[in-house]
Amino acid sequence: MPTELTVLVVDDDFHVARLHCRIVDELDGFRALAPVGSAAEAARSVAAERPDLVLLDGYLPDRNGLDLLVDLPVDTIVVSAASDGASIRRALRSGALGYLVKPFAPQLLQDRLAAYARFRNVLGEAVNADQETIERALRILHSGDTAAPTRSRSATETAVLEAVSAVEGERSAAEVAELVGVSRATAQRYLSALAGRGLLTTQLRYGTTGRPEHRYALAERSR
């Protein structure tokens, strides 16, 4: 079973915090921790709960949220009423993965969370990323596009995904092509697209000839 991503909501408005927690909990694969309303409480909760992601308000009663951002050792998306360019640039400069201006539609937050999950799939802890992988992860994170994983798949794409998911380990494009009954180039094209959407992970392996080969496995959160 894939592990849920935990999210800490930091907002001094109790009603807003509860709303954001509910949005988080309604998205498969995510779980909201008990929300907190101050910088001091946020620091304690992060240390104790070790969340995967923090949704951080820009205005807190005991400290500016953007000042706190620098000290948080965890992925963070700033959620603030401040819409001026200086605040947004400062948040991104200080390490925020994203910036949402309040108020916003619930779907926008869920889109950003889904993009964050796929970003983590692509840049998993065990991944030795090349530049192409890094660029793909950043595109996923900043696009917030959740349509790709949920759109109806073609029969070939579904067969390719099933061929990879049928084993615990990894498969090469050649192995997938043989299983599905398509050319290696076609299998490679579908595998690259699925990896780009965060549904598969990619590793470079060196064979006996010394030439690197891409190996594909099902992303942990797609299992």
pLDDT at 210: 57
How large a percentage of the chain has pLDDT more than 90?
Answer: 44
CA angle at 13 for the pair 12 and 16, rounded to the nearest 5°: 125
Calculated CA dihedral for residues 172, 137, 122, 72, nearest 10 degrees: 160
d(CA 156, CA 154): 5
pLDDT at 147: 41
Assess contact for 65 and 86: CB atoms under 8 A: no
Confidence of residue 153 (pLDDT cuts 50, 70, 90): low
CA-based torsion, 204, 75, 97, 109: positive or negative: positive
Q: Say yes or no to pLDDT of 155 above 90.
A: no
pLDDT at 197: 79
d(CA 157, CA 152): 10
Q: Which residues contact 30 (CB under 8 A, 6 or more apart)?
A: 4, 5, 6, 7, 24, 113, 117
Model-level pTM? 0.67
Assess contact for 4 and 49: CB atoms under 8 A: no
- Average pLDDT score over residue span 197-223: 74
Q: Say yes or no to pLDDT of 28 above 90.
A: no
**Record: fold of 5-104:** Rossmann fold (3.40.50)
d(CA 57, CA 54): 10
Confidence of residue 137 (pLDDT cuts 50, 70, 90): confident
Assess contact for 187 and 198: CB atoms under 8 A: no
Given the candidates 1.10.10.10, 1.10.340.30, 2.40.10.170, 3.20.20.120, the CATH classification of the domain at 125-222 is 1.10.10.10
Q: Which residue, chain included where needed, has tokens 């909501």?
A: 9
Confidence of residue 144 (pLDDT cuts 50, 70, 90): low
Of 15-19, 35-39, 121-125, 184-188, the range with the lowest mean pLDDT is 121-125
Beta strands 212-218 and 171-172, pairing class: antiparallel
Give the pLDDT confidence of 41-62 residue by residue, as tens digits.
999 999 999 999 999 999 999 9
Give the pLDDT confidence of 85-124 residue by residue, as tens digits.
999 999 999 999 999 998 888 888 998 998 999 898 888 7
Cis ω on the peptide bond leading into residue 103 (within 30° of 0)?
Answer: yes
- The CATH 3.40.50.2300 domain(s) of the chain lie at 5-104
Collapsing DSSP to helix, strand or coil, 97 comes out as coil
Mean pLDDT computed over every residue of the chain? 86
- The CATH 1.10.10.10 domain(s) of the chain lie at 125-222
- Of 73, 70, 8, nearest to 42 by C-alpha is 8
Confidence of residue 40 (pLDDT cuts 50, 70, 90): very high
